[in-house]
Homo-oligomer: A and B are copies of this chain.
Amino acid sequence: MKEPLPSLLISIAEGVIDLGWGHPSPGLHPIALLKQATDHVLGGEEPTPLQYGAVQGFGPLLESLAAFLTSQPAYGFPVEPETLFLTAGASQGLDLCCTLFANAGDTVYVEEPTYYLVERIFEDHHLNVVGVPTDGAGLRTDALEEMLRSDSFPKPRLLYTIPAYQNPTGTVLSEGRRHELLRLADRHGFLVLADEVYQMLHYGPPPPRPLFGLDDSEAGVVISLGSFSKILSPGLRTGWIQANPRLIGRFLNAGLSVSGGGLNHFTSTLVHAAITLGLLAGNVALLRETYGGREDAMDRSIRARLGPKVSYKRPGGGYYFWLTFNGELDTEALQPIAQEVGVDFRPGNAFSLSGKFPHALRICFALYESERLDEGIGRLAKALESYDSMVHGLAAP
Residues of A within 8 A of B (CB): 4-10, 23-24, 26-27, 29-31, 34-35, 38, 42-56, 58-60, 62-63, 81, 88-92, 94-95, 99-100, 103-104, 117-126, 229, 233-237, 253-256, 258-267, 269
Contact = CB atoms under 8 A, between A and B. Distances in A.
A53 B235 contact: yes
B51 A124 contact: no
Nearest to A103: B104
Copies in the complex: 2
A262 B13 CA distance: 21
Given A6-B59, A52-B10, A88 B266 contact: no
B236 A53 contact: no
A236 B265 CA distance: 7
Contacts of A265: 234-237
Contacts of A260: 88-92, 229, 234, 237
Contacts of A27: 47
Contact of A124 (B54, B100, B263, B266): B100
A61 to B, nearest CB: 9
B264 A264 contact: yes
Contact of A104 (B5, B81, B100, B104): B104
B255 A234 contact: no
B29 A52 contact: no
B8 A54 contact: yes
A50 B9 contact: no
A99 B53 CA distance: 24
Contacts of A54: 5-9
21 contacts: A4-B60, A5-B63, A8-B48, A8-B52, A9-B261, A10-B52, A29-B51, A34-B50, A50-B235, A91-B256, A92-B263, A99-B124, A100-B124, A117-B259, A118-B259, A122-B255, A124-B254, A124-B255, A237-B267, A264-B264, A267-B267
